Each structure stands twice: as structure tokens, then as C-alpha cells.
């Protein structure tokens, strides 16, 4: 009965359009009342679920992303990517993906990336005769690269959800090859779709121009080296690196590019406050929700029922992936990680999966979920920028989904893609 | 707008709440900047002064909960919290209005819970002392209470405006989905 | 049957988890099955600070936690947390089983809790990746992560080292990359958190021998019949003997394991460390109650 109240209230409220944060909170509240527990536990979990030092990375990386877009760093990266890969078939689609890869190396938020890269690329692509659906799908799928490449605050959320005993530096490193593999798969897909649709190529501006654009973009791109190098060489912790990203973005836009006005700064700050408050409120409410799941022993029941299905690790991993894809369709990334890590990680580890490897699988899996309706923040942003409906985008997204699922399969069943690089750094 | 409308109690209240919302957003923004400064100070002290302050970690976390709850309350007023809008878009206007009404009542009720049980938590922990910060442990839960008060006010404002026949939901229908608005503001920059 | 819920941050199979489970079995047996205990291990219900609030407000009935989080609430709990207050684990056992232990137990009632038992958590020592520690002088300038406790922060400062704030989850990679030089803990934690992989110099300075505490919500305890209260108290006392046995085995096992994995254990001259603690005592042992308790502890032979 208490399970019915917990999940039933959540589903009902979600269907009538109540913000997810309040769906989670009120469902937990109702269940606690039914169980006769002191209701203050819901509010305690809400508060302490978000009062975690490592979560500071979320506002900082979102803030850094907003500052980089407002202050013109992102635009300079687009110009460099355009000069580099614009001459490949479906040129601007390739530019979009390379930009997303470069920007993904300095930003951790796929939503911010879709807004940043999409805001710059989609209007240009439409103007050059690309279908809006193509522009939107390339943007939304490429934005997921930000989740895999360091910095990635979702990996930090995963590490916290796993009890904080997984090295964040290792998780960051483990995401690099899967991120690049995913970017390559998207570029190939974008190429074939562009060819079948007869999209144009851009003229190659010459190596001198590429060099010039690279030089202009370098102060922004240096952030990749600062974040990854800083964490790996022990100058600062993973969480501190997000704060350094904010300072660096401010420094570059104020003193190097001199492109940040006071109103840009205020806009970026308020934008970051809005986005973070939204994300972290959900994380806090999800903490209350998952406390109840632990209290009601849901994970143990699930492990038992999965064991009943199969003992084969390959089947179990497939099963976990399908379940996570299903959950990711309906839920947002942060809360899904918080709720699913304590449930699935022990199962996966029981079958010999490395926790770092499992983190990469989970991030890519839930990342794809950010591009699936009904709850898909990245897809919503890309569609809103492209001014098309989600259903229009869905009609032609399938080749890109396929690319994503192929990479997910490879990452799941070839652990070396994730684990080789962290091993090299040890 | 006629002068009688401008001075109606509802309009005056609306202006006050708008000011409260703007103030909250600014305070939250200042909190974010202060948090950046605090963590940067922590790194600076460790490397340059070789002496790490122990208050920066709990201090930054406390600032974070202030700006989350302030920002979350503003989100209720500006309606930017992430939701599942599919059914809303499929329904006729009349039905939509009532579903949004339920959501606002839910937010209001949860806000009451934040105030009530948040205060209970403040009471429970008031006699404890936070290490490093050396202030009462009750301060951990003060942002929860403050955020609850604001969420109640802003949710109530929406409920009252809707009951008074104000077209607050029509405005929403023309905007992009709520969760997108915050990021779009960032995307629509000088190209 | 009433099922009492108990929280623990340690994983399944850890001595404290096993001890509380043993306590539950005894209670179940001796009350004829009227009461049972369910342990939520691995911080499933939250970190210690949170579960303490949960047990105080009656969300859960039982909780096994360390003493440090109570330092700001129950001032008597400061005494066992003081560095070098105990000469050895045997000394600690004698003190906590005696009058001073009872005084601390009584003090917990002010926080709405009944302290049922004190469990062993071994002795805590510093470990780092940089160099072996043989004297206080070797500590100078090293960066250590300590738990969020003023006593620990002041202790590290008094040793000339640098206390660096950091969430537990970032300690491993921070030692690995060199943000900090090390941390401090007992052998089982040094082992299970895998910190021995990145910080191989473990110096057996044994700065604190801080026991952990098993508490019950006072309102829930008061609801028990006097007979059941006696059963609970006796079961808790019986679980202490069991826990000490399990702890000793675990401690030895972990020590063996980290040594086999290449950890270098040094035994520094403790007197220097003890002498350096004077400012910590001056700052934290301020009122007469605490001063008397410290004297009482030192008087126990
Ligand atoms: Na990234
Ligand atoms: Na989705």
C-alpha cells in the first residue's frame, strides 16, 4: 500500500503537470503520513540532500557555461570548429558536433550546451537550407557529449550517490574515450543523413584561417587543459575545479576578450541561479523520495526479482540498461542517478562490473533519456531554439538514436573503452 | 491601466510581491558570487598561505542552500520549474486552468510543510553547534523555512490571480515550456 | 511484533552492524519475539548528522553513530574525543565501562536519547603519501583531511600540520593527485576506503581512541515496560562484548591486509604528540564539569 501511495501520487501529480520537484516531495510527504512517521524527515532529506559540498559543482559549471556563452567564448569556439570541419558533407552539422565536443570539454551541462551551441548553430543551419529537424536533432544529440567529457557534474552526483567511494578523477578520465567515440558516431551519422538529404558543404578556408580561428579561440579552449590538468595534477579537487572554471570564464571575458558587460554578467548570474535552483530542488526532493525507497527496502526487492530472471551478467547488464532507458524516458538525469545508483550499482558490482565503468554506462544511458519525450530537457531546449515541436524532431531522430544505442552497447560490453585511460593515468 | 486598477489592493500586492521576487533573485545571485569567492579563497589559502580555513566548506554549502531555496521560490512565481507538460498541451483551456490550479495548491501545501516542519527542525537542532562555523545547528534549516514562506506567498498569488480572472495561464501558453525558458535566456544572446 | 529500525553508516558485515544485529537477536529472544530490530546499513537512511536528527525526532528508534557529531550537543561527549585522553584501548574500556562512561550516558538524555552501549572503533592515526612520520617535527606543513570537528582541526594545527576541509568522497582522489598529503583513521577504514593504495605511510601515533555509541530514542525507550527496559540494556551490554571481539579481529585483519599491500607502518615517539596537545586541552576543556571528567579519566588505572 505504501508503495502505491509513493509511486501513485508521484505519477498522478506528474501527469497533471505539477513540477517534478513537488511531485517527488508531495509523494514522499503523503507516504510518510500514511506510515505514521514524523513528517519532518521529508524536509530534512530535502535539505540535506542538497547540502552537499560536492554538489557545488552544479551551480559552478552551469554558471561557467552561462558566462562563456554571454561573454562570447562559445561563439569563438564555433568559428574555429566551422573553419576546421565545415567542408565535410553536411558541413554545419559537423561543425555543430565538433563545437559540442570542444565546448563539452569545458562545460558539464548538456542542457546549457544545447542552449549555447544550438543558439548559435541552429539559426545558421536553417538559413543555409538545412531542415530544422536535422539541426535540432544534431544539436540535442551532440549536447550529450558534455556529460561524458570532463568536467561532468553528473559523474559527481553518481559518485556521491554511490557513497562517495568512487574516485571522481577516475570517472572524469573514464568518460573521455566514450565521449569521443560517441562524437565520432554522431559525425558519421550526420554525414550519411546529410548526404541522403543533399545538404551543402562549406568551402575550406585554408590552414592559415584555421590557425587564426584557433588562436582566437585558444583562451577559451585553455579551460579544458586547466580543468583536466588541474584535477589530475592535484592543484585542486574536482569540485574546486568548477569554481576555477567560473573564475577563468570571468577573467577571459572581462580582460582578454573584453566582451562581458555588466548586464551580460547580471543576466548570466540570474540565469545560473534559475537553472541551478530548479535542478537542485529536484535533487533535494529526490533525496526524500529515495530515502523512502530505502526505508521500504525497494532496492532489495528489485535485486531479488532481477536475480530471478537470470544469472548471466550479460543479460543482467542488458536488463539494467533497458530499465534505465525506460526510467530515463520519464525522468530527469540528476534524480534518476540519485534514485538508481543505490539500486543498480550493487547488482552490477555483484556481477563483476567495475563501479567506474558502470558510472559511464549510466551517464550515457540517462543522457540519451534527456533526448526522449515526455521528459527530455535537452530535446526541449533544442526544439525551442529551432522553433519546432518535439514531435517534429522525433520523426527524423531515429538514425541518431541508433548511433547512441550502438555506442551504449559498445561502452556496456567493452569495459576497456572506459577503463583503459584511467589505468594509464594511475 | 486606470488609476482605480493601479491602486486596487490586488495590484498593490502584486507589485510588492514582484519586488520581493526581484530582491530574492538578486540575493540569490549575490549568494552565488559569494560562494564562488569562498571556494576560490579555500584554494588560494591552501596554495599561497599554506593554511586552509575550515569554515569555507560548510560556509559555501550554507550559502548554496540559501540561494537554492530563494531561486526555487522565484521559480514558483516565474513558473520555470521542470514539469511534464504533455497532458497540459493536449487539454482545452478550461481544463488546463484547473490542472494548473491543482499544481499551485500542491506547491502552496508543500510550502506550508517547509515552514512548519522546517521550524520544527530548527527547534530540534537549535541547541547544537556547527563545527567550524561555530553557530547554532538550527541555521542549517533557516533557508528551508524562508524558502517555504516565499513559496507559499508566490503560489498563493497565482491562486488568487487566477480566481480573480487574471489571464496568467494564457501568457504561459504562448511561452516555450517552462523548463526551457531559463536556458533560452542564455541562448538568445548577441550572435 | 514491533520492529525497531536502526541506522549505521558502515557496510553490512562491519563489527558495529553485526553487534546491533546481535543485540536485535537477543532482544527478540528475550522478549519472546515481541520486539525485533532491523538494521539499515551503508548509510541507506542518511549520513550520521541526519540519522541523529531522525532518531532524536523518532523517525527511527535506534542508531549507531560516532561520538564526534555530538560534541556540539552533548558537551560530555567531548572528553573521549580529546587526543591522548586514553592511554590504551584497555584504559578506554575501563573508563567507558565505569563511572565516567555512566556520566556520559546520562548526558545523552538531554538530547532526547538513551545511550545503550559504547562500541570500539580502534585508534585513529595519521597516514600520508609523502613521508614516514617518526616525530611531531615530521608533521610540519603536511596537509591532512580531518572530520568536521573543531577538536580534530585544532589538533592538526597544534601538530604544525594543515587541516584541509574536504568531503569524504573526494579524499581518495585528492590524496592520489596531491591536493592533500593524507588523512587520519583506524585500520579498517584505511583498508576499506582503499586509502592505503595512495597513502602508504601509516604512522601509529594513535591520537584518539574514540568509541562509538549505540543510542535509542528516549520516548521509545520510556514506552517500554521496566522489564523490557532491563532486557534492552542487558542485550546492549552483551552486544558490547561481542563487538569488541569482532572489532579486534577486524582491526588485525585490516592491518595484515594493508601491510601485505605495501603500507609502511611506523611507530613514532608518542610523548612529543602528547606534549603538543596542551593548547587543544586549554581551548576545549574549559568548564569545571569537563575538567573534573578529564581528571577522573586520568585517575582510572
Ligand atoms: Na563535460
Ligand atoms: Na526523457
| Domain spans, chain A | 1-424
Q: Angle at which helices A262-295 and A298-309 pack, to 10 degrees? A: 70
Burial B48-60 (b: 16+ CB within 10 A, else e): eeeebbbbbbbbb
Residue B86: its H or E element: helix B86-90
Distance (Å, whole) CA C234 – CA C229 = 9
Ligand nearest to the CA of A108: 1
* Average confidence (pLDDT) over A309-326: 84
Strands C264-266 and C201-208, by their bridges, are parallel
For residue A207, what is its C-alpha cell? 590552414
Please tell me which of the candidates B46, B53, B124 has its beta carbon nearest to residue C57.
Answer: B124
Beta bridge partners of C208: C124
**For residue B183, which residues of chain A lie inside 8 Å, CB to CB?**
111-112, 114-115, 271, 275, 381
C135-149 mean pLDDT: 90
pTM, 2 dp: 0.84
Is B152:B111 a contact under the CB 8 Å cutoff?
A: yes
Q: In angstroms, rounded to a whole number, what is the distance separating the alpha carbons of residues B80 and A397?
A: 27
Measuring CA to CA, which residue among A234, A115, A108 is closest to residue A179? A108
Tell if the CB–CB gap between B61 and A52 is shorter than 8 Å.
Answer: yes
Compute the nearest-CA separation of A211 from chain C (Å).
34
Per the CB < 8 Å rule, is A240 touching B39?
Answer: yes
Beta-carbon separation of C57 and A238 below 8 A? no
- Does the beta-carbon distance from B56 to C165 stay under 8 Å? yes
pLDDT at A235 over 90: no
B124 in contact with A at a CB cutoff of 8 Å? yes
**Would you call C150 and B134 a contact, using CB atoms and an 8 Å cutoff?**
yes
Q: Does the bond joining B11 to the residue before it have cis omega, within 30 degrees of 0?
A: no
Q: Given an 8 Å threshold on Cβ–Cβ distance, is A40 in contact with C50?
A: no
B170 closest CA partner among B106, B105, B85, B96: B96
Of A100, A184, A178, residue with least CA distance to A359:
A178
pLDDT in tens, A356-369: 999 999 999 999 88
Q: Could you read off the pLDDT of A242-279 as tens digits, one per residue?
A: 898 899 889 988 888 888 889 889 988 998 898 888 87
Determine whether the interchain pair A294/C178 forms a contact, defined as Cβ–Cβ distance below 8 Å.
no
C-alpha cell belonging to residue A213: 580561428
Q: Say whether residue B48 is in contact with chain C using an 8 A CB cutoff.
A: no
Residue A355: pLDDT band (50, 70, 90) is very high
Q: Average pLDDT, stretch A286-296?
A: 84
- Nearest 5°: CA angle at C242, between C240 and C246? 115
For residue A375, give how far its alpha carbon lies from the nearest alpha carbon of chain B (Å).
6
Chain A CA closest to residue B59 = A53
Q: List the single best residue of B60, B114, B187, B190 to mutate versus A (max A Cβ within 10 A).
A: B187
Contact A169, A231 (CB under 8 A): yes
The rounded Cα B32 to chain-centroid distance in angstroms is: 14
Q: Nearest chain B Cα to C52, which residue? A: B125
Which of A38, A45, A54 comes nearest C170 by C-beta?
A54
Which residues from A are below 8 Å from C when comparing CB atoms?
A: 37-38, 40-41, 44-45, 48, 52-54, 159-160, 163-170, 231-239, 291, 294-295, 342
Contacts of A41 in chain C (CB under 8 A): 54, 57, 59
Please compute Rg for chain B using Cα positions.
Answer: 20
Give the C-alpha separation, A245 to A227, whole Å. Answer: 7
Segment C103-127 shows an average pLDDT of 95
For residues B25 and A273, is the Cβ–Cβ distance under 8 A? yes
Residue B9 Cα, gap to closest chain A Cα (Å): 29
User: A-C interface: how many C-beta pairs under 8 angstroms?
Assistant: 78
**In Å, how far is B83's CA from the nearest CA of chain C?**
27
Size of interface B-C (CB pairs under 8 A): 51
- The mean predicted confidence, pLDDT, of chain C is 93
Which of B45, B51, B52, B127 would best serve as a mutation to test chain C binding (most C beta carbons within 10 A)? B52
Q: SS3 breakdown of chain B: % helix, strand, coil, rounded to 5?
A: 80, 0, 20
% of residues, chain B, pLDDT over 70 = 81
Nearest ligand, measured from the Cα of A242: 1
A280: cis peptide before it, omega within 30°? no
Distance CA C197, CA C176 (A): 9
Q: Ligand 2: distance of its center to the CA of A378 in Å?
A: 9
Q: Cα–Cα distance between A268 and A68 in angstroms, integer?
A: 9
Cα A210 to ligand 2 centre (Å): 37
Element (DSSP H or E) covering residue A157:
helix A153-161
| pLDDT, mean over chain A | 84
d(CA A361, CA A325): 11
Contact B92, A298 (CB under 8 A): no
**Which SS3 state, helix, strand or coil, does residue B49 take?**
helix
Min Cα separation B7/chain A (Å): 30
Q: For residue B131, give the 3-state DSSP assignment.
A: coil
Q: How confident is the model at residue A325 (pLDDT cuts 50, 70, 90)?
A: confident
Using pLDDT thresholds of 50, 70 and 90, give the confidence band for residue B179: very low
Q: In this model, does residue C145 exceed pLDDT 70?
A: yes
How far B191 CA lies from chain C's nearest CA (Å)? 39
Q: Which residues, other chains included, contact C175 with Cβ-Cβ below 8 Å and sequence gap of 6+?
A: C128, C129, C181, C182, C183, C195, C198, C199
Q: How confident is the model at residue A128 (pLDDT cuts 50, 70, 90)?
A: confident
B123 CB near a chain C CB, below 8 Å?
Answer: no
Which comes out higher in pLDDT, residue A151 or B42?
B42
- Does B83 contact chain A (CB < 8 Å)? yes
Give the residue from chain A lying closest to C168, CA to CA: A164
Q: Is residue A222's pLDDT more than 60? A: yes
Q: Do B128 and C165 touch (CB under 8 A)?
A: no
Answer with the residue of higher pLDDT: C213 or B78: C213
* Buried b / exposed e along B5-20 (16+ C-beta atoms within 10 A): eeeeeeeeeeeebeeb
Residue among A330, A300, A288, A292 at smallest CA distance from A3: A292
Neighbours of chain C (3+ CB pairs under 8 A): A, B
What local confidence, expressed as pLDDT, does residue B183 receive?
54
Mutate which: B38, B51, B128, vs C, most C CBs within 10 A: B128
Three cell numbers, residue C228: 523490557
Long-range contacts of the stretch A227-232 (C-beta < 8 A, 24+): A227/A105, A227/A106, A227/A150, A227/A151, A228/A105, A228/A150, A228/A172, A231/A150, A231/A168, A231/A169, A231/A172, A231/C173, A231/C177, A232/A169, A232/A173, A232/A425, A232/C177
Interface test with A, best of C174, C185, C217, C219 (most A CBs within 10 A): C174
Q: How confident is the model at residue A330 (pLDDT cuts 50, 70, 90)?
A: low
Q: Edge to edge, what strands does the sheet with C212-217 contain?
A: C35-40, C2-7, C62-66, C212-217, C113-119
Task: Express the helix, strand and coil content of chain C in percent, nearest 5 each.
Answer: 50, 20, 30
Ligand 1 mean position, distance from CA C181 (Å) = 28
Contact at CB, B57 and C71, closer than 8 angstroms = no
- C96 C-alpha vs ligand 2 centroid, how far in Å? 55
Has the ipTM of the complex gone over 0.95?
Answer: no
pLDDT reported for residue B4: 47
CA distance A287 to A298: 14
C47 interfacial to chain A (CB closer than 8 Å): yes
Q: What is the pLDDT of residue B1?
A: 43
Task: Note the pLDDT of residue B178.
Answer: 47
Q: Is B33 on the interface with A (CB under 8 A)?
A: yes
Instruction: Provide mean pLDDT across the span B44-66.
Output: 88
Instruction: Say whether C167 and A164 touch across the interface (CB within 8 A).
Output: yes
- Say if residue A97's pLDDT is above 60: yes
- Which chain B residues are Cβ-neighbours of A56 within 8 angstroms? 35, 39, 60-61, 64
Q: Which residues of C134-148 are buried (b: 16+ CB within 10 A; e: fewer)?
A: eebebbeebbbbbbb
pLDDT-derived band at B185, boundaries 50, 70, 90: low
Burial of A49 from C-beta contacts in 10 A (0-12 / 13-18 / 19+): buried
Amino acid at each position: 500500500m505504501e508503495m502505491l501511495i509513493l509511486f501513485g501520487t508521484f505519477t498522478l501529480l506528474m501527469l497533471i503537470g505539477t513540477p517534478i520537484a513537488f511531485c517527488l516531495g508531495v509523494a514522499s510527504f503523503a507516504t510518510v503520513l500514511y506510515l505514521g512517521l514524523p513528517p519532518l524527515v521529508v524536509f530534512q532529506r530535502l535539505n540535506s540532500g542538497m547540502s552537499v559540498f560536492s554538489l557545488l559543482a552544479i551551480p559552478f559549471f552551469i554558471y561557467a557555461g552561462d558566462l562563456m556563452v554571454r561573454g562570447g567564448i562559445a561563439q569563438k569556439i564555433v568559428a574555429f570548429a566551422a573553419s576546421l570541419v565545415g567542408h565535410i558533407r553536411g558541413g554545419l552539422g559537423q561543425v555543430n558536433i565538433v563545437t559540442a565536443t570542444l565546448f563539452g570539454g569545458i562545460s558539464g551541462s548538456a542542457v546549457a550546451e544545447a542552449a549555447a551551441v544550438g543558439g548559435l548553430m541552429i539559426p545558421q543551419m536553417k538559413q543555409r537550407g538545412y531542415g530544422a529537424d536535422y539541426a535540432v536533432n544534431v544539436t540535442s544529440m551532440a549536447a550529450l557529449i558534455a556529460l561524458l567529457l570532463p568536467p561532468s557534474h553528473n559523474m559527481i552526483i553518481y559518485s556521491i550517490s554511490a557513497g562517495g567511494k568512487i574516485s571522481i578523477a577516475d570517472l572524469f578520465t573514464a568518460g573521455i574515450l566514450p565521449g569521443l567515440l560517441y562524437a565520432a558516431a554522431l559525425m558519421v551519422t550526420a554525414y550519411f543523413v546529410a548526404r541522403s538529404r543533399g545538404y551543402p558543404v562549406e568551402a575550406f578556408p585554408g590552414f592559415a584561417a584555421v590557425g587564426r580561428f584557433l588562436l582566437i579561440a585558444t583562451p577559451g579552449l585553455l579551460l579544458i587543459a586547466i580543468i583536466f590538468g588541474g584535477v589530475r595534477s592535484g592543484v585542486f579537487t574536482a569540485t574546486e575545479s568548477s569554481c576555477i572554471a567560473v573564475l577563468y570564464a570571468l577573467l577571459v571575458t572581462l580582460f582578454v576578450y573584453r566582451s562581458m558587460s555588466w548586464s551580460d554578467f547580471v543576466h548570466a548570474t540570474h540565469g545560473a541561479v534559475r537553472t541551478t535552483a530548479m535542478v537542485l530542488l529536484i535533487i533535494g526532493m529526490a533525496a526524500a523520495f529515495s530515502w523512502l525507497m530505502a526505508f521500504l527496502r525497494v532496492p532489495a526487492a528489485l535485486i531479488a526479482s532481477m536475480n530471478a530472471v537470470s544469472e548471466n551478467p550479460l543479460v543482467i547488464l542488458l536488463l539494467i540498461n533497458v530499465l534505465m532507458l525506460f526510467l530515463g524516458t520519464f525522468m530527469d538525469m540528476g534524480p534518476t542517478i540519485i534514485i538508481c545508483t543505490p539500486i543498480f550499482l550493487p547488482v552490477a558490482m555483484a556481477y563483476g562490473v567495475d563501479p567506474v565503468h558502470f558510472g559511464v554506462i549510466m551517464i550515457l544511458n540517462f543522457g540519451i533519456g534527456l533526448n526522449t519525450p515526455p521528459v527530455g530537457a535537452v530535446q526541449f531546449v533544442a526544439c525551442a531554439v529551432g522553433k519546432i515541436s518535439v514531435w517534429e524532431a522525433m520523426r527524423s531522430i531515429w538514425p541518431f538514436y541508433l548511433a547512441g544505442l550502438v555506442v551504449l552497447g559498445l561502452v556496456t560490453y567493452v569495459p576497456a573503452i572506459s577503463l583503459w585511460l584511467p589505468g594509464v593515468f594511475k | 491601466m486606470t488609476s482605480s486598477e493601479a491602486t486596487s489592493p490586488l495590484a498593490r500586492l502584486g507589485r510588492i510581491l514582484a519586488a520581493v521576487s526581484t530582491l530574492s533573485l538578486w540575493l540569490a545571485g549575490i549568494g552565488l558570487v559569494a560562494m564562488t569567492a569562498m571556494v576560490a579563497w579555500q584554494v588560494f589559502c591552501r596554495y599561497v598561505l599554506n593554511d586552509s580555513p575550515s569554515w569555507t566548506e560548510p560556509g559555501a554549502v550554507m550559502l548554496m542552500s540559501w540561494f537554492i531555496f530563494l531561486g526555487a521560490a522565484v521559480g514558483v512565481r516565474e513558473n520555470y520549474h521542470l514539469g511534464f507538460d504533455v497532458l497540459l498541451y493536449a487539454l482545452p483551456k478550461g481544463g488546463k486552468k484547473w490542472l494548473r490550479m491543482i499544481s499551485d495548491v500542491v506547491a502552496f501545501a508543500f510550502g506550508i510543510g517547509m515552514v512548519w516542519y522546517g521550524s520544527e527542525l530548527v527547534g530540534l537542532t537549535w541547541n547544537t553547534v556547527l563545527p567550524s562555523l561555530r553557530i547554532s545547528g538550527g541555521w542549517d534549516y533557516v533557508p528551508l523555512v524562508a524558502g517555504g514562506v516565499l513559496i507559499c506567498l508566490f503560489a498563493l498569488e497565482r491562486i488568487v490571480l487566477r480566481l480573480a480572472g487574471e489571464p496568467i495561464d494564457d501568457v504561459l501558453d504562448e511561452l516555450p515550456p517552462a523548463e526551457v525558458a531559463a536556458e533560452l535566456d542564455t541562448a538568445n544572446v548577441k550572435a | 511484533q514491533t520492529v525497531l529500525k536502526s541506522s549505521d553508516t558502515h557496510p553490512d558485515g562491519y563489527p558495529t552492524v553485526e553487534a546491533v544485529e546481535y543485540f536485535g537477536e537477543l532482544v527478540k529472544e528475550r522478549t519472546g519475539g515481541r520486539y525485533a530490530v532491523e538494521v539499515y546499513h551503508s548509510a541507506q537512511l542518511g549520513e550520521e548528522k541526519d540519522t541523529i536528527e531522525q532518531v532524536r525526532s523518532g523517525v527511527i528508534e535506534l542508531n549507531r553513530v560516532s561520538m564526534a557529531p555530538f560534541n556540539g550537543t552533548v558537551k560530555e561527549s567531548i572528553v573521549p574525543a580529546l587526543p591522548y585522553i586514553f592511554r590504551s584501548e584497555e584504559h578506554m574500556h575501563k573508563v567507558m565501562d565505569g563511572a565516567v562512561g555512566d556520566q556520559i550516558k546520562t548526558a545523552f538524555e538531554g538530547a532526547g536519547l538513551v545511550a545503550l552501549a559504547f562500541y570500539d572503533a580502534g585508534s585513529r592515526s595519521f597516514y600520508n603519501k609523502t613521508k614516514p612520520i617518526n616525530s611531531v617535527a615530521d608533521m610540519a606543513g603536511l596537509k591532512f583531511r580531518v572530520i568536521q570537528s573543531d577538536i580534530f582541526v585544532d589538533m592538526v594545527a597544534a601538530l604544525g600540520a594543515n587541516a584541509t576541509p574536504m568531503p569524504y568522497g573526494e579524499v581518495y582522489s585528492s590524496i592520489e593527485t596531491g591536493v592533500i598529503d593524507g588523512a587520519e583513521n583506524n585500520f579498517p577504514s584505511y583498508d576499506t576506503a582503499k586509502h592505503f593504495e595512495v597513502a602508504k605511510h601509516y604512522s601509529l601515533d594513535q591520537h584518539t581512541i574514540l568509541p562509538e555509541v549505540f543510542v535509542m530514542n528516549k520516548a521509545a525507550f520510556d514506552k517500554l515496560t521496566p522489564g523490557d527496559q532491563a532486557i534492552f540494556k542487558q542485550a546492549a551490554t552483551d552486544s558490547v562484548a561481542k563487538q569488541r571481539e569482532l572489532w579486534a579481529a577486524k582491526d588485525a585483519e585490516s592491518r595484515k591486509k594493508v601491510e601485505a599491500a605495501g603500507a609502511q607502518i611506523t611507530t613514532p615517539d608518542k610523548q612529543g604528540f602528547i606534549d603538543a596537545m596542551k593548547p587543544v586541552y586549554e581551548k576545549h576543556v574549559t568548564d569545571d564539569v569537563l575538567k573534573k571528567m578529564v581528571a577522573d579519566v586520568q585517575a582510572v588505572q
